[in-house]
Amino acid sequence: MRPPVLVLVLPLTLLLTACSGGDQKVASTESPSPSVAPTTAAPTPTAVVSTPSPTASPTPAPKKAAIDGDVDGDGKPDAVKTTAERITVTLSTTGKQVTAPVHADSPAAPKVLGSKDVDRDGFAEVFVQTVQGASTSFATPYRFDGKVLRELQLDGQPALLGFGGSVQHGDGFRCTDQGLVEVRKAESSTGTSYTVSLAVYRMTATSLVLVRSSSGTAPQGSPEVEAAYTIDCGSVGEGE
């Protein structure tokens, strides 16, 4: 009968050490957990919606004022003729004639005093001397709008702008750079101190419309009194 075999059971670590012949470090199979810094999510950008502004209607550019004598605005002077009943403008470029009635105090053809683009619309207004007095005369303006020539009205009647006068009375008018007509009158009982009145008119398509008026006193020889005897309106007063 064979004797029983004694089996010695050793721990696994001692067995591995014995097989390798020395100390052996055993690497851990677990990796250390990395330190993860907390992250802050970037804010989601807010979309900016651009709302286009409504397109505004363009403002028409103001026309360049016509030169004196250029009734139709083509850059060339036009021929103006009058009879006792009518004014006729012959347009230089096309040869077309436009006319308007004249209300004069004489059977003779009234004098054309000159022209000026008062309202700065690109067409020069024509001024005709429709009334001839002993010391004071009066001019009526005519306006062309590109189609029709019109006699301008004031208070329902043909407009009359006075100029000239005597020692005790004066009339005059001036065209301003703002498209207005200033009408001045000076009256005196002594010939040394005058009451001066000013009426400012705006020119429309068919008439002169009062904008404002004022009055005051001024001595003889002052600019206010002198202005009440003269015309200051481009070529108006020089004649054509």
What is the mean predicted confidence (pLDDT) over 147-162? 97
Spatial distance between the Cα atoms of 156 and 42, rounded to a whole number of angstroms: 78
pLDDT bracket for residue 139 (50, 70, 90): very high
The mean per-residue pLDDT over the stretch 163-185 comes to 96
Q: How confident is the model at residue 238 (pLDDT cuts 50, 70, 90)?
A: confident
Global pTM reads 0.73
Per-residue model confidence (pLDDT) at position 239: 74
pLDDT score for 204: 96
How many whole angstroms separate alpha carbon 128 and alpha carbon 109?
10
Higher-confidence residue: 205 or 41?
A: 205
Give the mean pLDDT of 152-160.
97
**What is the share, in percent, of the chain residues with pLDDT greater than 70?**
73
Q: Which of 22-36, 54-68, 122-136, 200-214 has the lowest mean pLDDT?
A: 22-36
User: Which comes out higher in pLDDT, residue 12 or 202?
Assistant: 202
What is the per-residue pLDDT for 64?
86
Helix (H, G, I), strand (E, B) or coil at 20: helix
3-state secondary structure of 228: helix
Q: Return d(Cα 195, Cα 222) in angstroms, integer.
A: 12
User: Quick check: 237 pLDDT over 80?
Assistant: yes
On average, the pLDDT of the chain sits at 82
